[in-house]
Every structure is written in structure tokens, then in C-alpha cells.
């Protein structure tokens, strides 16, 4: 149904198109990039050794429907920058499969007993999915993200214990 493949420069224009507003870019990537997203920023992104960006491919059609990142910067690997960019493909249950594919890919890289992620509090659909997949909010690591002068976003830290 879905598979992950390396994100390459050939994928830059698609991702740039998917995050067409500052809000979409920050929801997707936090403060990693600045708006508007550019090929130069994505080239720098690809050069970071402990990040493994992937494109999400719908195997039956061959269509690239999203983006995700395996993040090895912290003590525990992190699922990062998950986006189903093709809006017509959202709400079809792909999130569960993407989470499973990402965890499998991480475990192929390094055996781990825990994975983590961060999600903005207003993204209730994603939080519900992550909880269903066994992630638990760690309140003591919750942060506040200043999106705009008058807009503060809650940024939850979630972990999932893995049983290998």
C-alpha cells in the first residue's frame, strides 16, 4: 500500500508546493525552515547526516503522497516532519501505516526501545492517531511555541515504548 524512499532534489518542488503558507510550513517543520521554503534550504536539509528524509509513495499508483523524516539527532530516534501533502489522500487511514513504516525503518538503522515525536496541540487528528499507535504525551516536556505575537502553540512531546 505505502513505502518509504529517500527524499532527493527531484522531490524539492513537490514539497515546496505542499507547504504554501507560513502556517503550513511551521506545522510541518517547526522552525527548521523559514518561509518561503526554498531549494537552497532543502539542499542544506539533505546534507544533515543525522536526518533521513523520506518520500511516502502509494505503491499501487506510484504517486508520491507525502513526506516524513527519521530523526537521529537525540538520544532516542524521533518521527519527524510527517505530512500527507496530497490533501485528497488525507483521512484514508494512511497515518497508521506511515507510523509503522517509520518505526520499522528506524529499527533497521539502530535497535531502540523507544521512539519519540513532537506535535502541535491544535493538531488533534494527529494526536488521536499517535495515541492510538501507543504514543503517550509527556507533560513535563511540553513546550510553548510562539507562532505570532498573539498566538502561542502548545508543542507536545510524545513517546512510544517498543517491545522488540
User: What are the tens digits of pLDDT across the range 94-141?
Assistant: 999 999 999 999 999 999 999 999 999 999 999 999 999 999 999 999
Average pLDDT over residues 3-27: 97
The Cα–Cα gap between 119 and 137 comes to: 10
Count of CB atoms situated within 10 Å of the CB of 33: 19
Q: pLDDT category, 164, cuts 50, 70, 90? A: low
The Cα–Cα gap between 116 and 4 comes to: 19
Helices (H), ranges, the chain: 12-18, 22-29, 39-46, 94-109, 124-132
pLDDT per position as a tens digit, 58-85: 999 999 999 999 999 999 999 999 999 9
Which triple of cell numbers denotes residue 94? 494512511
Which triple of cell numbers denotes residue 28? 510541518
Average pLDDT over residues 34-44: 98
The Cα–Cα gap between 40 and 61 comes to: 30
- Structure pTM? 0.96
Pick the CATH number of 2-161 from 3.40.50.720, 3.20.20.10, 3.40.630.30, 3.30.1540.10: 3.40.630.30
pLDDT given for residue 163 in this prediction: 84
Amino acid at each position: 500500500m505505502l513505502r518509504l524512499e529517500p527524499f532527493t532534489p527531484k522531490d524539492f518542488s513537490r514539497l515546496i508546493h505542499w507547504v504554501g503558507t507560513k502556517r503550513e510550513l511551521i506545522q510541518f517543520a517547526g522552525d527548521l525552515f523559514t518561509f518561503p521554503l526554498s531549494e537552497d534550504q532543502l539542499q542544506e536539509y539533505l546534507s544533515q547526516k543525522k536526518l533521513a528524509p523520506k518520500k511516502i509513495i502509494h505503491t499501487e499508483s506510484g504517486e508520491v503522497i507525502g513526506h516524513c523524516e527519521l530523526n537521529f539527532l537525540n538520544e532516542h530516534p524521533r518521527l519527524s516532519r510527517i505530512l500527507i501533502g496530497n490533501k485528497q489522500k488525507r483521512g484514508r487511514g494512511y497515518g497508521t501505516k506511515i507510523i509503522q513504516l517509520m518505526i520499522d525503518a528506524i529499527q533497521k538503522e539502530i535497535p531502540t526501545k523507544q521512539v519519540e515525536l513532537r506535535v502541535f496541540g491544535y493538531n488533534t487528528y494527529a494526536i488521536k492517531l499517535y495515541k492510538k499507535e501507543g504514543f503517550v504525551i509527556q507533560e513535563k516536556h511540553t513546550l510553548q511555541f510562539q507562532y505570532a505575537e498573539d498566538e502561542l502553540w502548545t508543542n507536545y512531546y510524545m513517546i512510544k515504548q517498543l517491545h522488540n
